[in-house]
Copies of this chain bind each other. A is one copy, B any other.
Amino acid sequence: MLNETYRGMLNHKSVIRETFMYGKQHAAEIGYENVFDYSLGNPSVPCPPQFTLAMQNLLDTEEPVDLHGYCPSQGDPGFRTAVAKHLAKTFALPYQQKHIFPTTGAAGAIAHAIRAVTQPGDEVLTFAPYFPEYGPYVEGTGAHLKVVPPQAPAFQPNLDAFEQMLTEKVTCVLINTPNNPTGVVYSAETLTRLAELLAEKSRAYGHTIFLVSDEPYRDIAFDGKAVPYPAAFYPHTLTCFSFSKSLSLPGERLGYVAVRPGCEGEDILVDMMAQISRFTGHNCPPSIIQRAVSRCLNVTSDLSVYETNMNLLYDKLKALGFEVERPGGTFYIFPKALEEDANAFCMRARQYDLLLVPSDTFGVKGYVRLAYCIDTEKVERSLPALEKLAASYRR
């Protein structure tokens, strides 16, 4: 018999995907260049040339049996060592090979990290607004996702509500900075207080509460500011990273879990995640990609276009009177809709060929997400459409 759970999910349509599909259809009618599609978070800049060169060099020089052979179940040792060195240098924490578990993107990283530090039935807390895939990632482990309500307009985590919800059932907290969908970077002050609460409650309950930090946008930071690194604030942190955005390689599925040195279980967590892979059919990420990326850890794609686009949109939205927080990173911005119902607002935006995503899908009402990983020229041409949309609410 077909599995009822997964079969039932086929009827739940993703609003992001529905918007994207509408955009494709609309583009066929009025031309691709005339649809201002802010729906999907797909990198729009190419990978750095170093990655292509590394791939070509590996194919030209390595023995195929070695290059394409099985990895150990903990991943390619060279990649793990290179990542550990890179993190140690960047964040001044003594990461070693044993702390690094390569995964198929951040999705694989989060799924493994949470399975490793929870028992079925445990609660995992996250902060609204949040990436909706956290739902399946967490529920798939047997733990339950509970969402701390949002704190507008700055969208730093709501730590008062968090403290109330941080009961004995909670064994793991999942954060995302820089944040999808808001673009907000969690401040050092936020992370300090968050770490204090985690330490205090861990002591009170007699068990370690782990922090899983999802950071695929870490390298997309604006205004020349560094993004505070959560693992630097709290020792029991599993950092989840993906090269999808930093190196513009989303289709090649490479990421990692980095177990913070000093974390409870630091000597066995990677071995445990290798065991978890056997149960999910996850496997190691591809060998050649691990080896090529290990040569590119000190470079990124040219990510400056995202800051250019952010400034254009932020300035225009502010000028039009939108309530909006200035993003500190990512390629998202999260203004308040001009009417209470974000879905209705997004439907009206379509009349101006603007494709936005209503915030309901991120666990917040009344906002919209714009993913500005598109050409700057198109962002510029979209500004009059934003003007018209705003004007339609002043009539």
Contacts and interface: CB of A to CB of B under 8 A. Distances in A.
Interface stretch (A26-34, A284-292, A355-363): A284-292
Contacts of A56: 56, 59-60
B111 A10 contact: no
17 contacts: A1-B117, A2-B264, A3-B119, A6-B273, A7-B272, A10-B271, A46-B65, A64-B248, A69-B250, A104-B281, A104-B282, A105-B281, A107-B278, A108-B283, A136-B278, A137-B278, A139-B279
Given A3-B116, A111-B281, A285-B286, 8 more contacts: A2-B116, A3-B117, A46-B65, A64-B248, A104-B281, A104-B283, A110-B281, A111-B279
A125 to B, nearest CB: 15
A239 to B, nearest CB: 16
B59 A1 contact: no
A282 B268 CA distance: 22
A8 to B, nearest CB: 9
Contacts of A59: 52, 55-56, 59
Contacts of A283: 104-105, 107-108, 253
Given A2-B264, A10-B271, A281 B65 contact: no
A103 to B, nearest CB: 7
Interface stretch (A37-45, A89-97, A330-338, A346-354): A37-45
Interface string A281-314: 1111111110000000000000000000000000
Contact of A118 (B3, B47, B112): B3
Given A55-B55, A286-B251, A279 B3 contact: no
Contacts of A282: 104, 108, 280-282
Interface of A: 1-4, 6-7, 9-10, 42-47, 51-52, 55-56, 59-60, 63-65, 67-71, 103-105, 107-112, 115-119, 133, 136-137, 139-140, 171, 207-208, 248-253, 264-265, 268-269, 271-273, 275-276, 278-289
Determine which residue in A45, A71, A139, A282 has the highest number of CB atoms from chain B within 10 A of its CB, and name it: A282
A3 B271 CA distance: 12
B68 A268 contact: no
Given A1-B117, A59-B56, A252 B139 contact: no
